[in-house]
Amino acid sequence: MSAMEALLATILLSSLLLVSSADISSKIGVNYGRKGNNLPSPYRTIETVRLMNAGRIKLYDSDHEILKLLSGTNIHVSTTVPNNDIIRIASSQAAAEQWVQNNVLNFYPDTMIRFVLVGNDVLSHDRRIWPSLVPAMRRIKNSLNAHDIKNIKVCTPLTMDVLQSTFPPSSGEFRSNITDTVMAPLLRFLNGTKSFFFINAYPYLAWSANSRNISLDFALFRGRTNQTDHKTGLVYTNLLDQMLDSVIFAMRKLGYHDIRLAIGETGWPSAGDIDQVGANINNAATYNRKLIQKMTSKPPLGTPARPGAVIPTFIFSLYDENQKPGPTTQRHWGLLRSNGTPIYDIDITGRRPLSSYKPLPAARSNMPYRGKLWCEVAPGVDVANLSSALSYACSQGNQTCAALNPGQQCYEPVSMFWHASYAFSSYWAKFRKQGATCYFNGLARQTRNNPSRGHCNFPSVTL
């Protein structure tokens, strides 16, 4: 061949390589969660995501307006089949085909859809869906194949609770009640289609549940000590690597040695309740900046069990979402406030050197609070909103509000605020162990100061 032909062949080959490696680029993604009633429009959001130079975006649905807005951008898109469509799609190729027509073919390739995620955390939820998960993934994949679409992978994001053992990483093992029924067929599918194992991995959750035994520095990628897994000899410098490798070892135990990992969600909350240790801007910025630096490093770092592997990573989350229930951290996972402004400086491309960031505000405390806590009416709440929350709290357990009955010790002073603070404290003290939170849709907050002001005995939580 002529020199010109050789040159053209090289260019063609390298562009082919670029195309085929597109789905494993190390560009960082963001999760576009939308559980908020005060978030910027999808239009403004996609503009923001472009300006942030995010390489990927992950949707929890397949919203058509958003998919349309993403067309013509160079953002790689992950779109989701909702959990409640899984059984239907598993049972009918026509249903899968229709889903693909409506939610992929209508937008692809102008919208660079690269992952179709079937469900979210399926194995943490409704057991009835489990048997349908892999069949639904197969049907979606069949449909994409029928349209000759090669660069969309079909995956399903799972959480760390699919493992029954994670530490040390070499002990990683899937829960026995899903191993044969779901994990084995899932891994066969992922291996056969060269797809990714999507894992949601939160060092924050592992550390905060066990902050006495795990050092914060280890969770924040700034460990001054290393941990060796004595069975393998692998040396770990951070908790995320340990979590990822426990998944890798669990897959190996079922015979799968090279299914690639992707991180569907990871991050760190920038604010939390008094009983939620370590949720602050300082730690959130440290975690996410170092995460980005690690995951975009060239050459790729991988993990101790998989050195050099590229791990597509999606940060949770783009925005603080004010309509998420539960503890305060739930509403503070965002990189951005609900008005679209950044909570802390962050360069999602990983190109900015960490040393160039301005100093962060000092963290108030990274030590777990020890002492008593109460749950009181939050400041500024409209009294008219309290009665239904009060009735709810008092209807949980037959003695929760006994002290508020006429003649009982907390009846006086007769005021909605007073009674509601009593009810919130009593409810929370009784049911916190079962997962109850002091929130009541924003009507309540935790306090270290006994709201009873000495009138009567308000139940408290002791940490």
Ligand X SMILES: *[C@@H]1O[C@H](CO)[C@@H](O)[C@H](O)[C@H]1NC(C)=O
CB under 8 Å to 345, separation ≥6 — which residues? Answer: 285, 357, 358
Of the ranges 46-54, 63-71, 353-361, 377-385, which one interacts with ligand X (CB under 6 A)?
Answer: 377-385
* Residue 128 Cβ vs ligand X, minimum distance, rounded to whole Å: 10
Binding ligand X (rule: CB under 6 A), the pick from 2, 37, 213, 341 is 213
Spatial CA neighbour of 371 closest among 458, 433, 445, 462? 462
442 binds ligand X (CB under 6 A): yes
* Residue 33 Cβ vs ligand X, minimum distance, rounded to whole Å: 21
398 binds ligand X (CB under 6 A): yes
322 binds ligand X (CB under 6 A): no
297 binds ligand X (CB under 6 A): no
Residues 126-155 that bind ligand X (CB under 6 A): 127
CB under 8 Å to 330, separation ≥6 — which residues? Answer: 269, 321, 324
352 binds ligand X (CB under 6 A): no
Residue 72 or residue 255: which is nearer to ligand X going by CB?
A: 255
* Residue 22 Cβ vs ligand X, minimum distance, rounded to whole Å: 20
Binding ligand X (rule: CB under 6 A), the pick from 93, 191, 293, 450 is 191
256 binds ligand X (CB under 6 A): yes
Q: Are 100 and 144 in contact (CB under 8 A)?
A: yes
CB under 8 Å to 415, separation ≥6 — which residues? Answer: none
Secondary structure class of 196 (helix, strand, coil): strand
Binding ligand X (rule: CB under 6 A), the pick from 35, 50, 147, 175 is 175
Furthest C-alpha separation in the chain:
101
255 binds ligand X (CB under 6 A): yes
Helices 93-100 and 130-146, axial angle in degrees (round to 10): 60
Size of the site for ligand X (CB under 6 A): 21
Of the ranges 113-121, 359-367, 439-447, 453-461, which one interacts with ligand X (CB under 6 A)?
Answer: 439-447
Q: Are 450 and 376 in contact (CB under 8 A)?
A: no
237 binds ligand X (CB under 6 A): yes
365 binds ligand X (CB under 6 A): no
Residue 255 or residue 361: which is nearer to ligand X going by CB?
A: 255
Cα separations in angstroms, 19 against 240, 287, 376: 29, 31, 56
Of the ranges 33-41, 91-99, 429-437, 440-448, which one interacts with ligand X (CB under 6 A)?
Answer: 440-448
Contact pattern from residue 52 through residue 91 relative to ligand X, giving x for each residue in contact according to CB under 6 A and a dash for the rest: ----------------------------------------
Q: Could you tell me whether strands 113-118 and 163-165 are parallel, antiparallel, or unpaired per DSSP bridges?
A: unpaired
Spatial CA neighbour of 185 closest among 133, 123, 150? 133
2 binds ligand X (CB under 6 A): no
Spatial CA neighbour of 461 closest among 389, 376, 403, 392? 376
Residue 49 or residue 443: which is nearer to ligand X going by CB?
A: 443
Binding ligand X (rule: CB under 6 A), the pick from 102, 177, 387, 409 is 177
Residue 77 or residue 182: which is nearer to ligand X going by CB?
A: 182
Q: How far apart are CA 199 and CA 382, in angstroms?
A: 42
Helices 416-431 and 386-395, axial angle in degrees (round to 10): 40
226 binds ligand X (CB under 6 A): yes
Query: Residue written as tokens 């357990």?
Result: 397
196 binds ligand X (CB under 6 A): no
228 binds ligand X (CB under 6 A): no
Q: Encoding tokens for residue 338? A: 């609900």
* Residue 8 Cβ vs ligand X, minimum distance, rounded to whole Å: 31
- Per the DSSP assignment, residues forming a β-bridge with 76 are 56
* Residue 442 Cβ vs ligand X, minimum distance, rounded to whole Å: 5
* Residue 64 Cβ vs ligand X, minimum distance, rounded to whole Å: 29
Q: How many CB atoms lie within 10 A of CB 168?
A: 19
Residues 151-170 that bind ligand X (CB under 6 A): 164
Q: What per-residue string of b and e applies to 342-366 under the rule 16 or more CB within 10 Å gives b?
A: ebbebbbebeeeeeeeeebeeeeeb
290 binds ligand X (CB under 6 A): no
405 binds ligand X (CB under 6 A): no
Of the ranges 44-52, 68-76, 241-249, 378-386, which one interacts with ligand X (CB under 6 A)?
Answer: 378-386
Query: Residue written as tokens 């005995």?
Result: 457
Query: Residue written as tokens 């370590």?
Result: 278
Residue 97 or residue 241: which is nearer to ligand X going by CB?
A: 241
Q: Are 250 and 172 in contact (CB under 8 A)?
A: yes
Residues that bind ligand X (CB under 6 A): 127, 164, 175, 177, 191, 210, 213, 225-226, 235, 237, 255-256, 381-382, 385, 398-399, 441-443
